Structure 1
Amino acid sequence: MIEFGVFGGGSWATALVKILTDNKLIVNWYLRRTEQAEAIQNAGSNPDYLNFVTLNTEYLQCSSQKQFVAQKSTIILFAVPSDGLSDLLIGFDRKWIHNKAVLSAVKGTVGEEHELPSAYISRQLIIPNNLQGILAGPCHAEEIGHRKKTYLTIGAVDPHWQQMLQACFSADYLDVRINADITGIEWAAIYKNVVGLVSGMAKGLRYGDNFIAVLVANALAELREVLRHMGSNAEILSSSYAGDLLVTAYSTHSRNRLFGEMIGRGYSVDKAKDAMNMVAEGYGATRGLYQTTRNFPLKLPILQTAYRVLFKYMPVLTEFKLLEQKLT
């Protein structure tokens, strides 16, 4: 019998738990805070994130014990912010999940080495390639919560596991696609958060739709070059790549877009971070991607603009005036 062990208590984790329990799959859900675990189990909803979503507690067991969730489950699903992954795995015994499939829904780079989440998890827990996968795509948690039509992407190399996961996550409002390009999808998921930030900065600076359209068109070209240098020859005009970028750049649900908009409106980086009660993955993603690509023979003006504003504290309007001259 399939039992998912979900690690993470935010909006994204909540949306994924909703999908699985709606599909009558048993979910053992690890939540760091005992009070949150008890509240969800008792009320059938997450009081902190997506509290409008009703969860089927008949198929749900919440716990604040990592070992219980890991050992009881047959498939492990990590759905935490990238900067929380290393802390989550502290004290996580690889023996708990020996020979179990591991799925990452983490978007961002991890640690000072800026590792991809799948690579970090594989190294820490010794997960073979055929038992590892990722979950991505243009899929805001809020719209999944409202059962709006969504396309998810399962990244995995093993055909049997691809089909099994596709069945687990499919629903009348969910179209699940399969893609073996795990590395390319993860880098695309990182880069799109940078684009969301810069698009938000443009909106905060009162640039219009015409400019943002040019910005996004250039971002797609940047993404193609980044992926090629990362070893992916993906056709990016699909939901797994361009779709994820577009929704992050334009959607009002995008935390990265909101964070960037606050910067454009004059908030300092620190004040914008303090004002948000959810993690904007693009902040760390900008640093990780910049550090990873800085020695590549590439022109990445959008990424460089984000980095200079966020980490060099350059004036956002000055940087955008420079960016205007570099867009095509």
Structure 2
Amino acid sequence: MREISVIGGGSWATALVKILAENKIRVYWYLRRQLQVEAITREGSNPDYISFAKLDTDYIEASTDLADVLSKCQHILFVVPSAHLPAVCQQIDPDQMDNKIIISSIKGTVGPDNLLPSSFLAKSFGALQLNQAILAGPCHAEEIAVGKKTYMTVCAGDPLLRTALSNAFGSNYVQIRESQDLIGVEYAAIFKNVVGLVCGMAKGTNYGDNFIAVLVANAIHELEMLLHALGLDSVQIGSSSYLGDLFVTAYSQHSRNRTFGVLIGQGYSVEQTKDTMSMVAEGYTATKGLHDMATARGLNMPILNTAYRVLYNYMPVKTEFKLLERSMI
């Protein structure tokens, strides 16, 4: 792979662009704001997200022209918040996506049908499964920005596509794990954001490390339950693609979902928390999507239920956590 189009201008998109440019992959990068484009072109950094990340502009062409960016090459990487994906796709002529390789690195369910991002993109553009891939963690943009050791999962049904993406994103500090489990890894990436929120709530309400450790252990059980309900009984849940991403989101100071939960635990309302944070916490919308799906399948997932009742039924955090304590195993 020598070139790729990237759709999205947030911190995760910026981190991925950084890796690609370092690997001398030409990046055609769509961003919504002209000020971002000008700053990236002039200064080699994204002024709005992880601005300390240095970008090699010799390999980056930033633009606010979505159609032009899509026309540049065959591989298209979507890195936008799940809530914004439908609006982005509505701006795209489906004919422009014929025979494109569609790559997703989005960690939330999409739309009223609670679709996986890869499923939504396939439905929007008629993409074949062999022409799709996903990128997952465990990794945080902030650590990629400063070149700290990072692990990433590349999922695709086509082995040649997996190899191409592994070469494009692997580096001396990014180690790639390849997988064919698009569904399992994508659901795990979505669920871990909910876990990060609840761990943050626990921290915000002054629970200690002991309780949070038990909370995470129970979250692993809930993830297994979810994956089995999807027919993924052979998944090796102990691998970094599943639990590594969950752990880093639950414990890291860089986790925006954990930060969102901390503020909720400290008494902020959902709207106040959204206003306070400059970045989207995917776990908020993911909570509703996964809760709807789990309810429809008759799954009892106490951690997911707690997140839903606090965020969408506006139940008191402390009351809900007292109930959650009783369900921990």
Q: TM-score, normalised by structure 2?
A: 0.98
Rounded to whole Å, the distance in 1 between the matches of 2:32 and 2:258 is 27
Rounded to whole Å, the distance in 2 between the matches of 1:138 and 1:125 is 28
Query: 1:90 — aligned with what?
Result: 90
Query: 1:297 — aligned with what?
Result: 298
Q: CA deviation at 1:3?
A: 1.3
Query: 1:253 — aligned with what?
Result: 254
Q: CA deviation at 1:152?
A: 0.3
Q: CA deviation at 1:298?
A: 2.4
State the AA in 2 paired with 1:264: G
Query: 2:324 — aligned with what?
Result: 323
Query: 2:180 — aligned with what?
Result: 180
- Alignment deviations for residues 20-79 of structure 1 (CA, whole Å, 9 cap, x no partner): 000001000000112211221111100000110111111110110111110112210000
- Alignment deviations for residues 81-118 of structure 1 (CA, whole Å, 9 cap, x no partner): 10010111112012223212111011100011110000
Rounded to whole Å, the distance in 2 between the matches of 1:271 and 1:53 is 29
Secondary structure of the 2:224 match is: helix
Contact 1:2 1:74 in 2 (8 A): no
Q: Which sits farther off after the overlay, 200-209 or 289-298?
A: 289-298
Secondary structure of the 1:214 match is: helix
Identical-pair percentage? 55
State the AA in 1 paired with 2:309: R
Contact 1:4 1:28 in 2 (8 A): yes
Query: 1:189 — aligned with what?
Result: 189
Rounded to whole Å, the distance in 1 between the matches of 2:146 and 2:171 is 13
Secondary structure of the 2:90 match is: coil
Rounded to whole Å, the distance in 2 between the matches of 1:184 and 1:106 is 14
Contact 1:2 1:75 in 2 (8 A): no
State the AA in 2 paired with 1:327: M
Secondary structure of the 2:53 match is: coil
Rounded to whole Å, the distance in 2 between the matches of 1:104 and 1:310 is 27
Unaligned segments of structure 2, at least 5 residues:
none
Would you say how many aligned residue pairs link Structure 1 and Structure 2?
328
Note if 1:281 corresponds to 2:297.
no
Q: CA deviation at 1:146?
A: 1.1
Query: 1:157 — aligned with what?
Result: 157
State the AA in 2 paired with 1:84: H
Alignment of 1:18-97 (within 5 A): 18-97=18-97
Unaligned segments of structure 1, at least 5 residues:
none
Secondary structure of the 1:288 match is: helix
Contact 1:154 1:162 in 2 (8 A): yes
Secondary structure of the 2:111 match is: coil
State the AA in 2 paired with 1:321: K
Secondary structure of the 1:294 match is: helix
Rounded to whole Å, the distance in 2 between the matches of 1:321 and 1:220 is 20
Q: CA deviation at 1:180?
A: 0.5
Contact 1:2 1:73 in 2 (8 A): no
Query: 1:113 — aligned with what?
Result: 113
Query: 1:148 — aligned with what?
Result: 148
CA RMSD of aligned residues (A): 0.9
- Alignment deviations for residues 159-182 of structure 1 (CA, whole Å, 9 cap, x no partner): 111111111111000111111110
Q: Which sits farther off after the overlay, 88-97 or 286-295?
A: 88-97
Q: CA deviation at 1:247?
A: 0.4
Q: CA deviation at 1:126?
A: 1.1
Q: TM-score, normalised by structure 1?
A: 0.98
Rounded to whole Å, the distance in 1 between the matches of 2:96 and 2:215 is 46
Rounded to whole Å, the distance in 2 between the matches of 1:41 and 1:232 is 44
Query: 1:307 — aligned with what?
Result: 308
State the AA in 2 paired with 1:110: V
Note if 1:131 corresponds to 2:131.
yes
- Alignment deviations for residues 248-290 of structure 1 (CA, whole Å, 9 cap, x no partner): 0000000000000001111111111111110010000000000
State the AA in 1 paired with 2:143: E
